[in-house]
């Protein structure tokens, strides 16, 4: 079944590589949006301001309850009805970014709430404002706690970028599908696609492990 795999891999690799760059671009855009928005929702959740906390909880719970594919469909097919035209690429990373921001919010919120309240009180007692306490005392420690699940979500973002193919984004999986349809060589092409995803994921896992070890050493 895999006869001539390596020969064909050399032939197909440059074509699939075009999809790899799109996959990386979507993942990076998603990571930025999910991290910033996730931190924003988390801060609202722990702000103590009930209307803001309830609004953030409502958003995150709603998004977490909707499949990513439906969010992508809504942004790409429904938003134009309201006058908002998005390219497939834009709808792709925005949909993934919004979805993952809800998961990142829970990661950051858990990290923030894991910090002993005594540190918050001590910071206030020496005259630090609420914002300064959050920025200088709480968030640096919360980041260390949040790092393992954050890293896991980062790898999941990379793999879930394949879902944007449903709205015609030609990333790695879509490039593989198009190539397989043209060559009728499903086994070799999708094996190569799987290996390329693995090659993208392993450095992320290694980087995440390095960060975790680094922060553990710094806390001793």
- On whether the pTM is more than 0.85, the answer is yes
CATH code linked to domain 5-219: 1.10.3720.10
- Banded pLDDT at 217 (limits 50, 70, 90): low
Average pLDDT, stretch 27-43? 95
The larger pLDDT score, comparing residue 9 to residue 181, is at: 181
pLDDT band at 8 (very low <50, low <70, confident <90, very high): confident
Residue 212 confidence class, pLDDT cut points 50, 70, 90: confident
Euclidean distance between CA atoms 62 and 180, whole angstroms: 37
- Residue 208 CA to residue 150 CA, distance in Å, equals 9
């Amino acid at each position: 079944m895999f006869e001539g795999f390596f020969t064909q891999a050399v032939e197909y690799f440059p074509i699939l590589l075009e999809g790899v760059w799109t996959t990386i671009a979507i993942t990076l855009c998603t990571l930025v949006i999910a991290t910033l928005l996730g931190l924003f929702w988390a801060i609202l959740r722990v702000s103590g301001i009930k209307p803001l906390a309830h609004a953030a909880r409502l958003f995150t719970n709603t998004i977490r309850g909707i499949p990513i594919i439906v969010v992508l469909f809504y942004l790409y097919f429904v938003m134009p009805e309201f006058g908002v035209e998005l390219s497939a690429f834009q709808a792709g990373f925005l949909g993934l970014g919004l979805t993952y921001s809800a998961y990142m919010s829970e990661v950051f919120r858990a990290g923030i709430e894991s910090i002993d309240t005594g540190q918050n009180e001590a910071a206030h007692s020496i005259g630090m404002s609420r914002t300064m306490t959050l920025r200088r005392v709480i968030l640096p420690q919360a980041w260390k706690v949040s790092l393992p699940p954050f890293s896991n979500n980062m790898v999941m973002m990379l793999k879930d970028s394949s879902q944007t193919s449903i709205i015609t984004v030609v990333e790695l999986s879509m490039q593989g599908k198009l190539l397989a349809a043209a060559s009728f060589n499903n086994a070799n092409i999708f094996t190569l696609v799987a290996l390329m995803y693995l090659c993208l994921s392993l450095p992320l896992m290694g980087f995440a492990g390095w960060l975790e070890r680094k922060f553990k050493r710094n806390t001793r």
